[in-house]
Amino acid sequence: MISILLAEDDNELKRNMVELLELEGYRVTAVASAEDAIAESELQHFDIALLDLLMSGMTGVEAISNLRHHQPFIAIVIITAYATVDTAVDAMKKGADSVMTKPFKSEELIVTIKRSLAEKQMLKSRADLDPDLVYSALANPYRRKALKILAAHQALKFMDLCRLVEIGDHTKFNFHLRQLKKAGLVMQNEKKIYILTNTGQFVLQHHNLSQD
């Protein structure tokens, strides 16, 4: 059974969502704060977390890194009544898989949950993927930018990639590339030219890397 972690401080909405999700056959643990959600993630496994953006205390977006630390492959949906492009981009940068705007229809919620779970399942099915290494590699904006540039250019020499990513310090950039190689996202061909691995291409397609 799919297990859902719901953090929502509007009691009526929380009750309605729990009822809807349980009718769909999901197991739901509902809490009223991001802090409680993090605590629950230490106690049991969840497939997906639905987090209200603004709650008393920590925001839903601020909780993402803690949830990912305990459960690297948990799908995360941020729910907000104040959605803007900036809000969505920030949530995606911090690791959210999707952003939903209140009020939403029940069908929209179910579709978002199913899509987010399907993407995470594809990611988990990759035998050559180490989730901790991947999420660590994706945590840095320079590394995300390097992946996107490699996807656009197919193959690049170190100096060209360094220039396009706009890092002046070659030693620093070399460190970032080492992290990407360690995570299995990039490699060098026989001519020492950097290219995306199949895993790198897969992650880029299925991990919503927003424009930094």
Rg (CA), the chain: 19
- Looking at residue 201, its pLDDT comes to 78
End-to-end C-alpha distance for the chain, whole angstroms: 36
Q: pLDDT for 130-141, tens place per residue?
A: 777 888 888 899
3-124 and 131-206 have identical folds? no
The pLDDT of residue 12 is above 80: yes
Judged by DSSP in three states, 84 sits in coil
The pLDDT of residue 209 is above 60: no
pTM for this prediction: 0.61
Enumerate the domain spans of the chain. Answer: 3-124, 131-206
CA-CA-CA-CA dihedral for 202, 204, 207, 209, to nearest 10: 180
CATH number for the region 131-206 comes to 1.10.10.10
- Looking at residue 154, its pLDDT comes to 87
Q: pLDDT for 141-184, tens place per residue?
A: 999 999 999 999 989 999 999 999 999 899 999 999 999 998 88
Q: pLDDT for 72-123, tens place per residue?
A: 889 999 998 876 767 777 887 888 888 888 889 999 999 999 988 887 776 6
% pLDDT > 70, the chain: 91
- Looking at residue 126, its pLDDT comes to 64
**Per-residue pLDDT band at 210 (split at 50, 70, 90):** very low
Q: Which amino acid is at 94?
A: K
- Looking at residue 73, its pLDDT comes to 83
- H/E/C letters for each residue in 179-191? HHHHCCCEEECCC
CATH code 3.40.50.2300 for 3-124? yes
- Looking at residue 128, its pLDDT comes to 60
The pLDDT of residue 211 is above 50: no
